[in-house]
Amino acid sequence: MKKISLLILVAGFMFIGINQAQAQKEEAKVLLVPQNDTETVFAYPISVVNVINNKCLGCHSPSGKSDDAKEDLMWEKLQGMDPADMVAVLDEIIEVLEEGKMPPKKIVAKYPHLKMSDEETTILKSWAEMTSNNLMGE
């Protein structure tokens, strides 16, 4: 029962988050679709959706041009995954953020607006840490 109400809450959050993000940035393709039928749904707060939208989805979504980028991470696929696999992906996201590796330097040099601000890094990283801890029941 607790799980179900949590799911609904989470799905609700995501729905709001996605709608807001869509309203803010029409051209972005928002792919963080809630999946109510899995246990592995988690919340993307609006602030996180915005960062992902603005800084990641250009490459890490089906419309991205780089196959490497798509193979390494597809945000929309994250939630359908097995929880242990999800934690593995989140760990990589955390490492990449800690090391400032994404978006790649080359891309940022060409498109300076894609540079992660410290605030954005913190938002995404704390969310990834929190989510991974939740998934591991910690």
CA trace torsion 105, 106, 110, 113 (10° rounding): -20
From the list 91, 104, 111, 122, which residue makes contact with other proteins (rule: CB under 8 A)?
A: 91
Residues 6+ apart with CB under 8 A from 45: 13, 17, 127
Q: Minimum distance between the CB of residue 85 and other proteins, rounded to whole angstroms?
A: 6
- Chain centroid to Cα 74, Å, comes to 9
Contact mark string toward other proteins, 114..133, x via CB under 8 A: ------------------x-
Closer CB to other proteins, 17 or 125, in the complex: 125
Contacts to other proteins from residues 70-89, by CB under 8 A: 83-85, 87-89
Angle CA 95–66–135, to nearest 5 = 35
Residue ranges binding other proteins (CB under 8 A): 83-85, 87-92, 94, 132, 136, 138
